[in-house]
A and B are shown apart, each in its own frame.
Chain A
Amino acid sequence: MARIDVRKTYKLYIGGAFPRSESGHSYEVQDSKGKFVANAALASRKDVRDAVVAARKAFPGWSSRTAYNRAQILYRIAEVMEDRRAQFVQAVQQSEGGTAAAAGRQVDEAIDRLVWYAGWADKLAQVVGNANPVAGPFFNHSAPEPTGVVGVLAPQSSSLLGLVSVVAPVIVTGNTAVVVSSYSRPLPAVTFSEVMATSDVPGGVVNVLTGDAAPLGPWLAAHMDVNAIDLCGVAGDDELSTALEVAAADNLKRVRRAPAAEPDWSADPALSTMTDFVETKTVWHPIGV
């Protein structure tokens, strides 16, 4: 008789742990052909709040890591993903359809993108920061710093490459993230969470909620302890993205607006993917004897 396989329970990723939704809710996830694959945890408003608490708690430690250390940790995520490449290819193909080769290209690009962002950790300040020649006897310089806790509504279509493309630029500079995954294609995000949990990413730096951006987005956008939000996951929904931007104004979150349609993730990323979520700090000190 054939062996019965052991199936995985897909859970949320909050504060480095894998809890179910506190609501006890889950939803059916289907593959690209509509066949049942698994039940994913359906994140609730309370899960959003718990994730924000975890992200805020992780922020001081993560933002004060050396840039070299953050670079190595992002590179480590890429290493572990490469190691589990076959699993990701299977998960992406299952979610997005298409050929195994096409899914393989998605996975390869996602891994390469992590390597690309890893290298930015100790270079961004050199590219967007500078010494300022002020008209007086002062040492004066400006450098980027992470803005804090960033809410990320991950893309709906590109379940892995899109996800990595919005998460890596947020955390490489020292922010922590609360991510709402693709609703219909959440499983690669859960597997990605498992990679982060084993890649020396401190718990709480990335928190991944599987669920629906439409009901969760407003809680994240209005949360007063979230500093910024990326609205990519509601691309094309003008009404919702406008409502989220309005809610985000309550504490003047930095907002990366939703594009009209999900972008082509194979294009080279712009520097703004990182600079949209950093603050420039300027420090003055007199020069004298």
Chain B
Amino acid sequence: MAFEYAPAPESRSIVDIKPSYGLFIDGEFVDGHGSAFKSINPATEETLAEIAEADAADVDKAVKAARRAFRTWSRMPGKERSKYLYRIARIIQERSRELAVLESIDNGKPIKESRDVDVPIVAAHFFYYAGWADKLEYAGLGANPQPLGVAGQVIPWNFPLLMLAWKVAPALACGNTVVLKPAETTPLTALLFAEICQQADLPAGVVNIVTGAGDTGQAVVSHPDVDKVAFTGSTGVGKAIARAIAGSDKKATLELGGKAANIVFDDAAIDQAVEGIVGGIFFNQGHVCCAGSRLLVQESVADEVMAKLKRRMGTLRVGDPLDKNTDIGAINSAEQLARIRALAEIGEDEGAERWAPPCELPSAGFWFPPTVFTGVSQAHRIARDEVFGPVLSVLTFRTPSEAIEKANNTPYGLSAGVWTEKGSRILHMANELRAGVVWANTFNKFDPASPFGGYKESGYGREGGRQGLSAYLKAGA
């Protein structure tokens, strides 16, 4: 049975959201010349702030500012650059609760995740790459590696500040300057990060933040004076970017979609595996490119796993993102909710069996209950398409080779999970799974020292670790 909890809301008084925000260009907030748009709280649908839209001319100004700043930033000794990044890491730690609350308000994710996962890893990422800035000769590109120049970075709405950190920290450590476009539904923590750059006295133009939607992003990645494109988002947009920069000298890293298999063998510690399945798909409402959205469970334990999984799903608390007891927050946007609903309906139409625990959803805002589909075949859309929501598809297998074949039967290759108590089997599965990250007896773990990125249509390049540096450096002359 589920315990009743009294509401335990985190106070939002720590956050001061302004009625409107401009663009952050050359160290200053300036007006945008596109048509301003609103950022809303997906849990309540209230308008949070009006956000400037950067048009092509605004993006051009930002790129020019970044180019000017590149001359000094790239020549600054690494040990000095590193101190700016350490400062930023420290300010993020100091303002961590403010950032966490703002992230939950703008994105809809539970405060326990923004507070305990997103923001601590953001600070850690800046701290990690700060230490690289004066050690780049050890990055693996030879004695005197050089920054690429101006990086155009476009990030998604699922981990707004964390994706900013993944992009900005290594770029700056390597001596690049950046023009970053946050997602149109979640710009607020990036704009607060701009204030943090000001507090850190980061030289003007090193970080520029241009808000807007797809057109703004396109202006950033296709700008002729952008040397490096870094994108996290959908595979469709990733392909469009790869086409757009064909024939140019732009370098690119693309971190795209996924349809990860989470494989449970009959000898797994089942209770732990169930926790891993739940964390794998319901963490961040399933808005995770590496979510374990395909559960592959060995036939002999399928009934036991499903019974325990359903019991556990019945205890998940869906609701107010700022409530400290909330497990599943709001879906980020009406548009995303419509996509999830459409794919779930297709799942039913194609004959899979849908189940969700009884769960009362708030009347305002965008919500989707934790949902599992059984009787799923590999041909079903819900087994092939990235749902990007709290929807799990369950398939079964008999032998390890069948599990491998099913797990790899996808154009994606971002992540995979394996649950078994047998060490040699873990290592065999880890070898055979065509995915950039394999979590064995764990899932959805992230660390700045650990490279992350995909095989196949999940994109190319790695973020995190020493490997993450080569995305922002070239061999010296």
Interface residues of A (CB under 8 A from B): 64, 127-128, 130, 132-136, 138, 140, 142, 147-148, 227, 238, 241-243, 245-246, 248-252, 254, 270-272, 275, 279-286
Taking A251-B456, A252-B457 as contacts, is the C-beta distance between A285 and B447 under 8 angstroms? no
User: Which of B8-16, B327-335, B432-440 forms contacts with chain A?
Assistant: B432-440
Report whether B455 and A142 are in contact in the complex, using a CB–CB cutoff of 8 Å. no
Report B425 CB to chain A, min CB distance, Å.
12
Closest chain-B Cβ to A244's Cβ sits at a distance in Å of: 8
Q: Tell me which of B104-112, B317-325, B461-469 binds A.
A: B461-469
**A254 vs B465: C-alpha distance in the bound complex, in angstroms?**
21
Q: How many A-B residue pairs have CB under 8 A?
A: 107
- Nearest to B431 among chain A residues (CB) is A64
Q: How many residues of B contact A (CB 8 A)?
A: 42
Contacts of B475 in A (CB 8 A): 270, 272
Residues on the B chain within 8 Å of A248, using CB: 242, 246
Given A281-B435, A284-B438: A132 touches B447 (CB 8 Å cut-off): yes
- Known A127-B140, A284-B442; 20 more pairs at CB < 8 Å: A134-B445, A135-B449, A142-B450, A142-B451, A242-B246, A242-B247, A246-B243, A246-B247, A249-B239, A251-B411, A251-B456, A252-B254, A270-B475, A272-B475, A279-B436, A280-B453, A281-B437, A281-B438, A284-B437, A284-B438
Residues from 238 to 268 in B contacting A, C-beta threshold 8 Å: 238-240, 242-243, 246-247, 254, 256
Q: Interface majority SS on A: helix, strand, loop or mixed? A: mixed
**Interface CB pairs A-B, < 8 A, 20:** A127-B140, A128-B140, A130-B465, A132-B450, A132-B451, A135-B447, A135-B449, A238-B247, A241-B247, A246-B243, A246-B246, A246-B247, A248-B242, A248-B246, A272-B475, A279-B455, A281-B437, A282-B451, A284-B439, A285-B441
Q: Determine if A245 and B462 form an interchain contact, defined as CB atoms under 8 angstroms apart.
A: no
For the complex, would chain B's binding face be called helix, strand, loop or mixed by DSSP majority? mixed
Task: Give the complex CA separation of A82 and B305 in angstroms.
Answer: 60
Q: Cβ of B430 and Cβ of A283 under 8 Å apart?
A: yes
List the interface of chain B (C-beta within 8 A of A): 124, 140, 235, 238-240, 242-243, 246-247, 254, 256, 411, 426, 430-431, 435-442, 445, 447, 449-453, 455-457, 459-460, 462, 465-467, 470, 475
7 tightest CB-CB pairs across the interface, nearest first? Answer: A242-B247, A245-B246, A249-B242, A134-B447, A285-B440, A132-B449, A246-B246
In the bound assembly, the distance between CA atoms of A134 and B447 in angstroms comes to 6
How far in angstroms is the closest Cβ of chain A from B32? 30
